Amino acid sequence: MTTGAMDTGAMDTASAVSVPTASTRVPTESANVSAPSTGVSADSLRHRRAVEALRAGVPSSDAVALLGSGQPEIEDEFLALLGTAREGTAAGMLVGGGFGSGKSHLLEHLTQLALAEGYAVSRVVVSKETPLHDPVKVFRAAAESAVVADGHGPAISEAAERLDLQGPAYAELLRWAMSPAAGLNERFAASLLLYAKTRDRDPELAEEIVRFWCGDPLGVARLRGGLKAAGEGKADLSPVTVRALGAQRLHFATRLLAAAGCAGWLVLFDEVELIGRYSVLQRAKSYAQIARWARGRHGVPGLPLAAVLAMTDDFEAAVLTGKKDKDAIPARLRGSVAADAVELVADATLGMRVIDREMKLLTPPDDVELDRAYAKVKELHGTAFGWSPPDIEGLERLGATRMRQYIRAWINEWDLVRLDVAFVPRTVTVDVASDYREDKDLEGGAQEESEEG
């Protein structure tokens, strides 16, 4: 191995670049390093996957379980939030941190905590396919990704399968779905009643019903025909828009999960800062959704529903202030003739206030946390590759350096030393600025407002 600058693969396209800038050689006999073993055990493979996940900045359950969250205050508030939701009061929180500060890692840790508490958990990454301002697409993504601790598939489908159709939980769910307080279209009570009569007798129709609960259409003729065949007579089904069904599905699915034994439903949102690249109107709608999830404003009482949204901590300065959204969005909406303009102004303003005043910032790692993480990652690397890693220099400990940068530097330097025990890498970081330029392609397709037939 030659000396000099070397790219170790530590590129972080959304954060910072870590690259060794210089190296020296030391006599081999002075390096207290054992040679890597040739055998690869199951534990070694599992730990290698964890190392590669940490290197890529993608949290894995193994890596998160090893490192923990490093955010005890946020963790305590999160557990309190789960308790509030379990009692039937929907609630949420917004967390913020710089790129590479550990937001995705934290969300994975919170996932494990919620699963252990008996929650169904969904992970929704804001993207072109899942724009935050579109509740229909957000619900579908949440439904598709929902899991439970002991499950083997989508949680809503498993909840339907586990539901005791002769028990009090089903009876209460049906009573609630039929009550005006639930605010549900008649399709939900009718489909729930039909599901109970067809789950064992007509699995194909039962599966169609579950897919309807998860976001697929279910035709009126199909539903009415099934009810008639089951001896329930003609159902009175009023028209409903796709958008309205999106919100109602969230309410119904949350109660279904609870009826099947879940403590509640937790929805985690990652990369929420992408909304900063939307056009003004779609940013306003997204702020309204932040208010909805962070404050538990779902319009229906008794939902055991919790949410955590994660975004970059520079969003307020770059978008709310930098793009003047605090003033420009209310001014623009007040001039709109849209029927929901007044409500949207209030909700968007609340969402911006949540970002500005209620964001829970990730705490930068102190020396104690860095020492603990260093020891854990060192042990992980050693187990993964069957060797005894020596101490390496890593990055200088500065307040602005992010945990992901420290971890990548440690892993990259141990990689190099493992290949050449005489090599002494040194790593620096280069920041990559956030990009909040508007890009309408990221907003997703237009929201369909036709009625489901």
19 pLDDT tier (thresholds 50, 70, 90): very low
Mean pLDDT, residues 331-353: 89
Q: Check pLDDT > 60 for residue 30.
A: no
Q: Check pLDDT > 80 for residue 251.
A: yes
Question: pLDDT tens for residues 166-193?
Answer: 999 999 999 999 999 999 999 999 999 9
User: What confidence score (pLDDT) does residue 39 get?
Assistant: 56
Beta strands per DSSP E along 287-446:
305-312, 360-361, 423-431
User: What confidence score (pLDDT) does residue 4 get?
Assistant: 35
User: What confidence score (pLDDT) does residue 371 get?
Assistant: 93
Residue 288 contacts by C-beta under 8 Å, 6 or more apart in sequence? 133, 344, 347, 348, 350, 351
Helix, strand, coil in percent for the chain, rounding step 5: 50, 10, 35
Q: Check pLDDT > 70 for residue 2.
A: no
User: What confidence score (pLDDT) does residue 340 get?
Assistant: 84
Calculate what percentage of the chain has a pLDDT beyond 70.
88
27 pLDDT tier (thresholds 50, 70, 90): very low
Mean pLDDT, residues 325-342: 86
Supply the Cα-derived Rg of the chain in whole angstroms: 25
22 pLDDT tier (thresholds 50, 70, 90): very low
User: What confidence score (pLDDT) does residue 360 get?
Assistant: 97
- Minimal CA–CA distance to 352: which of 398, 379, 317? 317
Report yes or no: 120 and 257 within 8 Å, Cβ to Cβ. yes
Two tokens at 417? 């030393």
Report yes or no: 87 and 401 within 8 Å, Cβ to Cβ. no
Distances (CA, A) of 122 to 69, 80, 325, 424: 19, 19, 30, 43
Report yes or no: 120 and 155 within 8 Å, Cβ to Cβ. yes
Mean pLDDT, residues 22-33: 40
User: What confidence score (pLDDT) does residue 70 get?
Assistant: 86
Two tokens at 63? 């890596």
Q: Check pLDDT > 50 for residue 222.
A: yes
User: What confidence score (pLDDT) does residue 66 get?
Assistant: 78
Question: pLDDT tens for residues 391-439?
Answer: 998 998 888 888 888 999 999 999 999 998 888 888 877 776 677 888 7
Lowest mean pLDDT among 14-28, 224-238, 273-287, 310-324: 14-28
User: What confidence score (pLDDT) does residue 423 get?
Assistant: 86
Mean pLDDT, residues 113-133: 97
Report yes or no: 163 and 262 within 8 Å, Cβ to Cβ. no
Question: Which domains, and CATH codes, for the chain?
Answer: 16-66+364-431 (no CATH), 71-157+257-362 (3.40.50), 158-256 (no CATH)
Mean pLDDT, residues 95-122: 94
User: What confidence score (pLDDT) does residue 3 get?
Assistant: 34
- Minimal CA–CA distance to 442: which of 125, 14, 127? 127
Q: For residues 322 and 51, what is the distance between their CA atoms, to the nearest angstrom?
A: 38
244 pLDDT tier (thresholds 50, 70, 90): very high
Decide which of 25 and 423 is more confident: 423
User: What confidence score (pLDDT) does residue 452 get?
Assistant: 52
Supply the mean pLDDT for the chain.
Answer: 87
Report yes or no: 394 and 406 within 8 Å, Cβ to Cβ. yes
Decide which of 340 and 241 is more confident: 241
